[in-house]
Amino acid sequence: MPSNPVDIYVNELISSHGISVEAARSRASALYALDLDMPVWRQYISYLGNLIQGNMGQSIRSPGVRVSTIIRARLPWTLFTVGSGLIISTILGIVLGTISAFKRDKWYEPIITGSASIISAIPDFLIGIFLIIFFGIITWFGMDRPLLPIQSMRGTHTMGLSIDDGFTYIRDIFAHGMFPIITYVLAQIGMWVLLMKGSTTSTLKKEYVKLAEARGLSNTKIMSKYVARNAFLPIATEFAMRMGFILGGSLIIEQLFVYEGLGLELLNAVHGRDYPVMQGILLIITACIVFSNLFAELIYGALDPRTRRGE
Amino acid sequence: MESTQYLFKKFKVGLKAMLSDKIGVLGISILLIIILLSAISPYIFPLQSRADPTQIFQPPSGENWLGTDHMGRDIWPQIANGGRGLLLLAFITASISVMIGIFLGTAAPLIGGKFDEILLFFADVWLTIPRFPLLVVLSGFFNLTSYVLALVLAILSWAGLFRSIRAEVLSLKEREYVEAAKMLDLSMIHVIFKEITPNMMPFIIMNFTLMMRHAIYAQVGLFFLGLLPLEVNWGVMLNIAWAQGAIYHPDALWFILAPAIAISLLILSLVWINRSLENLFNPVLRTDHDD
């Protein structure tokens, strides 16, 4: 069982490059920005010290490249796809959930709820695989090729294009991000529909809504003033919580679509035993969760005055 | 003896109610079929280990029900045998984590005070750990065998279970029969396992299926990423099909679709069972037939 990444790296250097112990150790210490002669706890303190200054050490696979540089290059792509997926699925889920809560006697209500519960159960990466098969592999009857050229849609953008290309570039990143985004949307929408339907239905049964109806208030007014605000509470908290998992949830999907975001970088780092990069990315993912938990509490306090204390 | 009879009666009533729920019946049937297949297939559908280059990526036929893979082996026996490992591991994971959850989740509110506060704080911190990314990183450091993986998965997910069981116990704690048991000076172990646990059995079973679902997701994900040792199961099949580029051969469609559908069915069956249990034991949550 390997215990210490630095030791492993030093051993690897010695055995594969045939260099001396001192040389290997000095190389390792330069990479991690650590002084290996200090006791471990002092090393940890100095790692934290470096961390505060934004220095997470250097990558092993590509020596000389700082971990923070790698993260800065990958982070926007993951934020873009997972973020769009989260926002689109939430909006669609709220709309569909509200419709199915209000039209519980219509024929299409069981279809919405039924598909929502099925789709929310299927793992996201299987949804991705099904999408690839449906759009990119099967040649449907009467066509001479699959619906979409899936192979050329891999990656984050077409080589050579940059932000200076303006509209072409924007269209290109959306074309490349389309499959991951649709996968995230489908993977989450069922949960939003069920959550919104459940919370709206239970709010509609509350006495203050009945009273508002009895007072003869208009439906729009009941919906906006009495139902929406309360039905929205669980949605808002869930949204804030999900924001935290925005970075961590993208691992398999990015591998599936060869989308060079943070998740794919973490996987590559694991395969290449690039410990500083693994450490850095895991840290960013955790930080993201901690901050959105805080955000969730703030939102809850703002929306539900009952949870505020000391007032 | 009387209590066993009573439990049996309760079980029968529960089963009857559950059978009246179509989704629940569907879920149970699928799960039973998968369990049955896992049990009998080593004898009826033995794995074919010999490669046959003339039979690569054959479409489904009378002989090969689901076609053949990249080495010309029949896919059906791989599907029939591929659920066993996943199910077993999910079962072990769920058992360990539910045990931890019950023990800590009941002990904390009963002991109360600092112990409860500290555990709750730990659980809150624990919940911020990104589970799947951490598993991926861990599998880079260690060689995660099935049983180690089950243990790691169970430990990683104790916090959520602890919190929900603790909340349930907090509401049960004030009931008269618990008060009575305490006044009779019965031991903590007695109160936990004889008084409280039986009364939240439905809740525990629901959490059990939920845990199994998480365990299957995590396992299949790790297998798909190729981070776990190879064996015959649906996740590995998915990984091999993917790595072999099976997805770009229209002929190999079955090779990748078969495990994907099998995994979906397994998880769907667990979700459906969970939902029908929820309808059964928490009629308040029923949203379909109310008013």
In a domain, A208, yes or no: yes
Q: What's residue A127's pLDDT?
A: 93
A241-245, B127-131, B205-209, B235-239: the lowest-pLDDT one: A241-245
In a domain, A175, yes or no: yes
Compute the C-alpha angle A286/A237/A255, nearest 5°.
45
Q: How many CB atoms lie within 10 A of CB B49?
A: 8
In a domain, A59, yes or no: no
Shared-domain flag, residues A26 and A167: no
- CA of B106 vs chain A CAs: smallest distance (Å): 26
Place of tokens 């949203």: B287
- Give pLDDT tens digits for A87-143: 999 999 999 998 888 877 888 888 888 899 889 889 889 999 899 888 877 777 777
Asked if B250's CB is within 8 angstroms of A139's CB, the reply is yes
Task: Report the residue count for chain A.
Answer: 311
Measure the CA–CA gap between B130 and B260, rounded to whole angstroms.
25
Which residues touch B39 (CB under 8 Å, ≥6 apart)?
none
Shared-domain flag, residues A147 and A24: no
Best residue of B137, B214, B253 to probe chain A, by most A CBs closer than 10 Å: B137
- Residues of A with CB below 8 A from B278's CB? none
Measure the CA–CA gap between B203 and B253, rounded to whole angstroms.
40
- Give pLDDT tens digits for B237-251: 888 888 877 666 777
Shared-domain flag, residues A186 and A144: yes
Q: Which residue has the higher pLDDT, B199 or A164?
A: B199
Task: Specify the 3-state DSSP secondary structure of B285.
Answer: helix
What sign for the dihedral angle of Cα B27, A187, A269, B211?
Answer: negative
Shared-domain flag, residues A153 and A17: no
- Residues of A with CB below 8 A from B141's CB? 2, 5
Measure the CA–CA gap between A223 and A228, rounded to whole angstroms.
6
- CA of A94 vs chain B CAs: smallest distance (Å): 17
- Residues of A with CB below 8 A from B253's CB? 133, 137-138
In a domain, A43, yes or no: no
The DSSP-derived string for A140-206 is: -TT-SS-SS-GGGG-SSS-TT--GGGTHHHHHHHHHHHHHHHHHHHHHHHHHHHHHHHHHHHHHHTS
Shared-domain flag, residues A196 and A114: yes
Query: Which amino acid is residue A303, in one-letter code?
Result: L
Shared-domain flag, residues A3 and A89: no
B6 to chain A, any CB pair closer than 8 A? The answer is no
Nearest to A2 among B137, B141, B288 (CB): B141
Buried residues in A123-158 as b, exposed as e (16+ CB within 10 A): bbbbbbbbbbbebbbeeeeeeeebebebeebeebbe
Asked if B253's CB is within 8 angstroms of A137's CB, the reply is yes
What CATH number has the domain bearing residue A201?
1.10.3720.10
Shared-domain flag, residues A143 and A22: no
Shared-domain flag, residues A2 and A101: no
Residue pair A292/A241 in contact (Cβ under 8 Å)? The answer is yes
In a domain, A49, yes or no: no
Measure the CA–CA gap between B281 and A145, rounded to whole angstroms.
51
- Residues of A with CB below 8 A from B264's CB? 121-123, 126
Q: What's residue A85's pLDDT?
A: 93
Query: Which residues constitute the domain of residue A25?
Result: 1-36
Place of tokens 């991690």: A32
Q: Hey, what are B169's tokens?
A: 């116990």
Measure the CA–CA gap between B200 and B193, rounded to whole angstroms.
10
Best residue of A71, A126, A139, A148 to probe chain B, by most B CBs closer than 10 Å: A126
Nearest chain A residue to B242, by CA: A256
- Rounded to the nearest integer, the mean pLDDT of chain B is 82
Q: What's residue B285's pLDDT?
A: 47
Q: Hey, what are B222's tokens?
A: 């790790």
Reply yes or no on whether the pLDDT at B288 is more than 50: no
Q: What's residue B113's pLDDT?
A: 84
Buried residues in A25-56 as b, exposed as e (16+ CB within 10 A): bebbbebbbbeeeeeeeebeeebeeebeeeeb
Shared-domain flag, residues A99 and A11: no
Number of domains in chain A: 2
Say what the pTM is: 0.84
- Residues of B with CB below 8 A from A127's CB? none
Q: What's residue A193's pLDDT?
A: 93
Nearest to B221 among A202, A252, A289 (CB): A252
B265 to chain A, any CB pair closer than 8 A? The answer is no
Q: What's residue A89's pLDDT?
A: 94
What number is the ipTM of this complex?
0.82
Which residues touch B2 (CB under 8 Å, ≥6 apart)?
none
- Cα dihedral B25/A125/B216/B26 (nearest 10): 0
B140 to chain A, any CB pair closer than 8 A? The answer is yes
Compute the C-alpha angle B129/B132/B136, nearest 5°.
110
Asked if B137's CB is within 8 angstroms of A278's CB, the reply is yes
Q: Which of B90, B102, B231, B225 is closest to B147 using CA atoms?
A: B90
Q: Which of B65, B80, B66 is closest to B246 using CA atoms?
A: B66
Nearest to B128 among A121, A273, A293 (CB): A293
Residue B50 Ramachandran class (φ > 0 left, ψ -120 to 50 alpha, else beta): beta
Shared-domain flag, residues A213 and A160: yes
Q: What's residue B291's pLDDT?
A: 36
Measure the CA–CA gap between B177 and B200, rounded to whole angstroms.
14
Point out the residues of chain A with pLDDT beneath 50: 1-3, 311
Reply yes or no on whether the pLDDT at B290 is more than 60: no
In a domain, A56, yes or no: no
In a domain, A54, yes or no: no
Q: What's residue A212's pLDDT?
A: 86
Shared-domain flag, residues A91 and A13: no
Which residues touch A54 (CB under 8 Å, ≥6 apart)?
A68
Q: What's residue B97's pLDDT?
A: 92
Shared-domain flag, residues A253 and A139: yes
How deeply is B276 buried, as exposed, middle or buried, from its count of CB atoms within 10 A (0-12, 13-18, 19+)? buried
Query: Which amino acid is residue A7, in one-letter code?
Result: D
Q: What's residue A137's pLDDT?
A: 77
- Cα dihedral B69/B73/B74/B79 (nearest 10): -70
B256 to chain A, any CB pair closer than 8 A? The answer is yes
In a domain, A78, yes or no: yes
Q: Which residue has the higher pLDDT, A247 or B100?
A: B100
Measure the CA–CA gap between A240 and B137, rounded to whole angstroms.
25
Q: Which of A43, A74, A47, A24 is closest to A276 using CA atoms?
A: A47
